[in-house]
Structure 1
Amino acid sequence: MSQQLTKRYSHLMHSIPSNSSIEYPLNPWIPLWWSAAFPGYGHCMINYPLIGYSLIIFEFTVNNLAKVNKAIYLSMLGDFQTAIDVIDLRFFYLYIGVYVFTMFDSYRRCVDMNNNYVLSFRTTTLTKTTKASSFSINTLNKVSPITATYWEMIMPGLGSLYLNHLISFFFSIVSWVITIGFSRFYVGVYYTCIGNFEKAKTILDPQWYLFIPSIYGGYVYFAYSQAVITNFQFKIAQSQFLRSEYQSTAFDIPLPVRAGGKTMYIVASFEHSTAIELALTELEQIGVEKSDMFALPLRVRNEKKKLFDNAHYSDGVSFVDLATILGSICMLLGGIYGFVLKQGPILWALYGLVGGGVLGFLVKWVVIKKLPSLDLFGRTRATEVVMMIRCGSTNDNQIKEILWNNKALGLTEYDPNKGGD
């Protein structure tokens, strides 16, 4: 692998003192949605922060000049004539063009990022995970997605600080302070808590208040997703390191290399099921001898399954993405209609946030249950049996296909002459 090609498609970039920019495959519809919820958020989620922050500033500026949020609020309440009167056409059509472009561009860039990730994964053999300077030491470590989410929910920006995304932390704090200041959000919370709902309705400014659902939901999702991505990148970097440093050709493998001819090994993991015996017998039918197969049952730690990723385990099956999307939508609707309902926009926005979040969890839970390689909670099933097959390079693809078809949880190959796959 040429050094030039490796640098061309790097999937991890460190900066000092801010944290790493990490390429990670993402469904393009996710950044498109967050661009629709708040222009700029989608670009931030796919590691284009400069473009993202510029679009966020544009959203705050032009939305307020055109009174888009206030027009949305009045339209949702059925007061269409007042909505027409309040909108400023000088800025409204400018806003529409940039708004649509933002969704298109975030989708396009995400597709390009996914392609670059594939190339970087294929060409990068070893990832540098530490960068130091006189200002800071930036190290890629595993983090807790729940901790990042918790602090982000307490105060937007703190989750980014926990992840060492310092620029994101600063921008989040500034944008949040400006939004709650002009919307008088905390004043509305105070009057809601003492039961003065009518005062809460009159004190809040809908133009600024309607920014909060998208901002808050986007902050929370960004913190959680970046924590999960960081953990995945750590796993990839560690796998590269182990293959590079701890797959010596001098290691005495349980199935020794045959004299003459090219020998390689395929290692697969399973959970206990009849699929293991089906795989073994099928391998025998295509000519693999029993002496070329080595199966090792494991004693597995009995641990209760977790609904969320943590610092020690991330599988990429996020229950938070749909929950934050539906939570922000329902929070927005609750915030709008709360102005005409008895308990006011603060409580109804809270009801919407909780209700939409729970609905998102339930929908994702039902979908995950149907995935064959995952358990009830979306976690990858535990490895209970490790199997090693000695073969030649002529039939390795056929053996891999048999193992995958018989529910292998994971699979790799090892060539004693070259190292791991």
Structure 2
Amino acid sequence: MPHQKFESATIKPRYSKGAISSFGSNSVYPRIPWVAAWWSFTFPGFGHMFLGKHLHGFMLIIWGIVVNTQANLNLGIALSMLGKFEEAKDVINEDWILLYMAVYIYSIWDSYRSAVEINKSHILSEVEDAPMTPSVINFLDVVLLEKKKPILGAVWSFLTPGLGQLYGGATAVGTFVLAWWIFVTYKAGTIGAWFYSFIGDFSTASANVDWQWFLFLPSMYAFAIYQAYSSVVANNALYDIEQIRFLRVRDERLTLQRQNKMNDGTVQIVATFEHSPFVEMFIHDIETIGVPSENIVALPLENLESQTQIIDSLHRVDGRSVLDGAMVSATIIMLLGTIYGFVWKWGPVIWGLIGLVGGFSLGLIIELVLQKKKIKVFESGKSEVFMQVTCPASMQKHLIKVLRARKAKGYLVLPQRITPDT
């Protein structure tokens, strides 16, 4: 990552990496433009939410729900796909549908354009390398940049959309997603449909559902899962970026004090950590027991190659994920399953869930086939922190104990024959 010192405490950076507040965290994490455009294609506002342009997203989503409902657009789409073209013409309100189209196209175009500009800003923010605040504490909340598990964000939103966003620290987004999910679920009669579907009364389940409102749910559900996952990954990347800058600035400050030779009776221990609070806690611990700051080298390792992984695959280099294609496929096939579920035996709920799982699996298989030479399964693609400590031999056992307590990935006590040049 490019590095340039940003010393001023009074001048704001021209290109910020990100920020946190009581409403949540946000960053110029790079996103793939076609993915943003795709989510806007599924529903106006989703692409902007994916990019972190939440106010734009909120406005477009509310607008989309109001105008789509007035136009009976969802119902018209469903009837058309079932071959009932005359009925579709009768239900669609032409005045409202014409109002819908301009903003719908704008949403797709602007989300693609915004993704391109955000990616440019990300590059410039890396060059400027300005500091950011890793925590905010006020009366309303305690907000910390912390490492979380993206898959847990997806699981919570799978159970109830909005919970994954709250888990990821996006309070405003989580509240909005929960509110819209509750409102649309109520209007669609979804709870009754779920109940009757799982006791096998499929005809009653289909009869009690409002088609117009129910067809909002597939795209909303799939987007909430994916957005929760990707926002946690972006938040983790922001944590890494902030800690990388801290470690580099710290090392520059200590370089002038560091002596490049070992005295008799000293040892050198090297260790690696994942980016986490344990890195800074370890530095504090060993400084407390008497190891001078200039004897502690802590710097991030540079990635030589960025490989895509199936789990936690969005990485700081380009924002690419094999889950992009998987969630695109899941959204399409879930929507089709829901529509045709109104006339098939098992009803829209069961066929919608089958479409979600089947579409995700199909999309993931296609991504794996297309990128099979670039993909690892679980191994992390992010950089690690390299730590080198020079200390008296008498501290060796205690230092190793602290390494274990602070979750070091591994360590090595350098043989005495390896000495720095004098």
Which of the five TM-score ranges fits, normalised by the shorter chain?
0.7 to 0.9
Aligned-pair CA distance for 1:130: 1.4
2:343 pairs with 1:340: yes
- Sort the Cα spacing of 1:253 and 1:147 in 2 relative to 1 into closer, same or farther, 3 A: farther
Aligned-pair CA distance for 1:368: 3.5
Aligned-pair CA distance for 1:319: 3.6
Letter in 1 for 2:17: H
Deviations 1:47-89 (A, max 9, x none): 2111110100011100000000000000000111111111101
Matched residues, number: 332
Matched residue, 1:284: none
Q: Is the 8 A contact 2:31 2:320 kept in 1?
A: no
Alignment partners' CA distance in 2, 1:143 and 1:193: 33
Deviations 1:271-314 (A, max 9, x none): xxxxxxxxxxxxxxxxxxxxxxxxxxxxxxxxxx984229xx98
Partner-residue secondary structure (3-state), 2:57 = helix
Aligned-pair CA distance for 1:377: 5.4
Matched residue, 1:380: 381
2:128 aligned to 119, 123, 128, which one? 123
2:251 pairs with 1:251: no
Matched residue, 1:10: 16
Moved more, 30-39 or 318-327: 318-327
Deviations 1:234-289 (A, max 9, x none): 111111111011343243558xxxxxxxxxxxxxxxxxxxxxxxxxxxxxxxxxxx
Letter in 1 for 2:163: L
- Sort the Cα spacing of 1:96 and 1:223 in 2 relative to 1 into closer, same or farther, 3 A: same
Matched residue, 2:187: 182
Aligned-pair CA distance for 1:45: 1.3
Matched residue, 2:288: none
Aligned-pair CA distance for 1:127: 2.6
Letter in 1 for 2:18: L
Alignment partners' CA distance in 2, 1:155 and 1:164: 16
Gaps of 5+ in 1: 255-304, 387-421
Matched residue, 1:193: 198
- Sort the Cα spacing of 1:171 and 1:366 in 2 relative to 1 into closer, same or farther, 3 A: same
Partner-residue secondary structure (3-state), 2:371 = helix
Matched residue, 1:370: 373
Moved more, 78-87 or 123-132: 123-132
How do 1:221-370 and structure 2 match up within 5 A?
Answer: 221-247=226-252, 248-249=254-255, 250-252=257-259, 307-309=310-312, 318-370=321-373
Partner-residue secondary structure (3-state), 2:154 = helix
Matched residue, 2:86: 81
Letter in 1 for 2:356: L
Matched residue, 1:136: 141
Deviations 1:71-124 (A, max 9, x none): 000000011111111110111100011100110111111111111111111102
Percent of paired sites with the same residue: 36
Matched residue, 1:300: none
Gaps of 5+ in 2: 1-5, 262-307, 388-422
Matched residue, 1:297: none
Matched residue, 1:70: 75
Alignment partners' CA distance in 1, 2:124 and 2:142: 28
Alignment partners' CA distance in 1, 2:230 and 2:88: 37
Aligned-pair CA distance for 1:323: 2.0
Alignment partners' CA distance in 2, 1:175 and 1:382: 38
1:167 aligned to 160, 165, 172, which one? 172
2:97 aligned to 80, 92, 99, which one? 92
Matched residue, 1:400: none
Q: Is the 8 A contact 1:160 1:223 kept in 2?
A: yes
Aligned-pair CA distance for 1:365: 2.3
Q: Is the 8 A contact 1:6 1:120 kept in 2?
A: no
Q: Is the 8 A contact 1:70 1:83 kept in 2?
A: yes
- Sort the Cα spacing of 1:33 and 1:27 in 2 relative to 1 into closer, same or farther, 3 A: same
Runs of 4+ in 1 over 6 A off after TM superposition: none
Partner-residue secondary structure (3-state), 2:13 = helix
Partner-residue secondary structure (3-state), 1:25 = coil
Aligned-pair CA distance for 1:320: 2.7
Aligned-pair CA distance for 1:379: 4.7
Root mean square deviation, CA, Å: 2.7
Matched residue, 1:151: 156
2:224 pairs with 1:219: yes
Q: Is the 8 A contact 2:309 2:321 kept in 1?
A: no
Letter in 2 for 1:138: V
Aligned-pair CA distance for 1:376: 5.2
Deviations 1:345-370 (A, max 9, x none): 11111110010011122222233322
- Sort the Cα spacing of 1:84 and 1:331 in 2 relative to 1 into closer, same or farther, 3 A: same
Moved more, 112-121 or 69-78: 112-121
Deviations 1:193-244 (A, max 9, x none): 1111111121111111110010001101110000111111111111111101
